[in-house]
Amino acid sequence: MANRVLIADDAAFMREMLRDILTDGGYEVVGEAADGNEAVSAFAKHLPDLLTLDIVMPRKSGLEALREIVAAHPGACVVMCSALGQEALVMEALEAGARDFIVKPFKPDHVLEVAQKALAKSDD
């Protein structure tokens, strides 16, 4: 059975790019979110195996959404997506419970490798 993924990014083209990479890699994309509030509610609705979560989003940041999701679902498998130059935010996200991160622009092989490693940590 394919791992179920939720994609959260405020940029539609980034969500589409991740959806294509993950679908081609054998994952099932069960939902998408365009801001942190949508990410929190979509996570509760779908309970995905993996959430890709953009760090900087409107209404509620990815960091705030991460904290809410991890508080409600301690085993949540979350991979943060960041732009170059957001190292401090990435470190804060990892300390808050993110499993790993991927940097934009996305490289398909790297996205799939990080997703696989993050999910493997969930199985431990």
pLDDT tens, position by position, 29-72: 999 999 999 999 999 999 999 999 999 998 999 999 999 999 99
Contact, 57 vs 35, CB < 8 A? yes
Domain spans in the chain, listed from the N-terminal domain onward: 4-123
Six token digits for residue 24: 């081609």
Mean pLDDT of the chain: 94
Strand ranges inside the chain, DSSP E: 4-8, 28-33, 50-54, 78-82, 100-103
Question: In b/e form, how buried is each residue of 6-18, taking b as 16+ CB within 10 angstroms?
Answer: bbbbbeeebbebb
Tell which residue, 94, 88, 86, 82, has the closest CA to residue 118.
94
Average pLDDT over residues 10-35: 97
Is the domain 4-123 a CATH 3.40.50.2300 member?
Answer: yes
Query: What is the percent of the chain where pLDDT is above 90?
Result: 85
Average pLDDT over residues 60-86: 93
In the chain, the amino acid numbered 108 is: P
Say whether pLDDT at 124 is over 70.
no
